[in-house]
Amino acid sequence: MSTNFGHSTTGEEVVEAFKAHVQGRVFVVTGPAPNGIGASTALALARGKPAAILLAGRSPTKYAPVADGIRAIDPAIAVKTYAVDLGSITSVRAGAAQLLAENDRIDVLINNAGATSYTLEKSVDGIELNFATNHVGHFLLTKLLLPALRKGDAPRVVNLTSGAHRTAVGDYDDYNFENKPYSWYQSYAESKLANVHFTQYLATHGKGLVSLSVHPGTIWSTNLSRTVDEEEQQRTKAYVESLGVKEKTLEQGASTTLVAALDPAFAEHNGAYMSDCQVAPVGCEAASRADLAEKLWKLSEKLIGEPFE
């Protein structure tokens, strides 16, 4: 285990340390928008000679600079982009079908994409948009890609969560905010708790998969909060800084994801939550409740209309 890695470690440093676990392997990264953690993750992986980096998200044309950047690092890498709108069950099914048609195996699935909606919005499937995009879409995508993951070499699923989950309570009975006032931050926090619970349940029911959830750190330069007004962003930033949280660069923000994806020692920590490149305690009482993880799993199966397996 990379005990020397921490807050300041960059993604490239992680890839350099674990090149043998990148070379020749196939990686899927969701939400690889330029100037985001997903792009930083994909570009760092490119330096380790993977066989393929598959970029999946709502706007494939926007990922062209990332794909070009990967090819500039190593033209031998197979780079493909796929249209997968995680807020649409139909889109996730179509994108996953194309992924499976063109790729026989996947070694690592990095569920990186995330969203925040400042106002209460629902997906095309009638699901609160943060919950739909940050959890339900990734739950379905993971389920649909299982055949390729099971053919992978020591397959892993890495789910990006957030330290924001510490304020969540796991109110999966009211995921649509029908019986309580909507709060964009609480909605986001609940969706990030769902990432933790999904990881935990997948670890015990995933049959051969290693699943880890990752807090990438606080990075203000991403587009994650683009729907939040400037005044609210500044209030949130001031509050986070008052807690003594240090900001990370995009390159540093990719590091914990890549340790989770590559370090073979973490196979012994299946289901764990990670921060600053190490296993860390979860941030709230709800994140330790196995009953809530099971409740989320059953709700997720209901929302996608079929069992996970």
Q: Positive or negative CA dihedral for 174, 180, 184, 190?
A: negative
Supply the DSSP string of 3-62, one letter for each residue. Answer: TT--TT--HHHHHHHTGGGTTT-EEEEE---TTSHHHHHHHHHGGG--SEEEEEES-GGG
For 144, phi and psi rounded to 5 degrees? -70, -25
For the chain, report the end-to-end CA distance as a whole number of angstroms: 32
CB atoms within 10 A of CB 244: 6
* Chain centre to alpha carbon of residue 73: 24
CA separation, residue 208 to residues 150, 153, 159, 282 (Å): 8, 11, 17, 23
| 161: helix, strand or coil | coil
DSSP per residue, 87-119: T-HHHHHHHHHHHHHH-S--SEEEE------SS
Q: Which of 63, 82, 188, 273 is catalytic?
A: 188
Amino acid identity for residue 31 in this structure: G
3-state secondary structure 213-273: EEECCECCCCCCCCCCCHHHHHHHHHHHHHCCCCECCHHHHCHHHHHHHHCHHHHHHCCCE
Q: Give residue for tokens 């969540």.
A: 168
188 is catalytic: yes
DSSP state of 275: E
Catalytic residues: 188
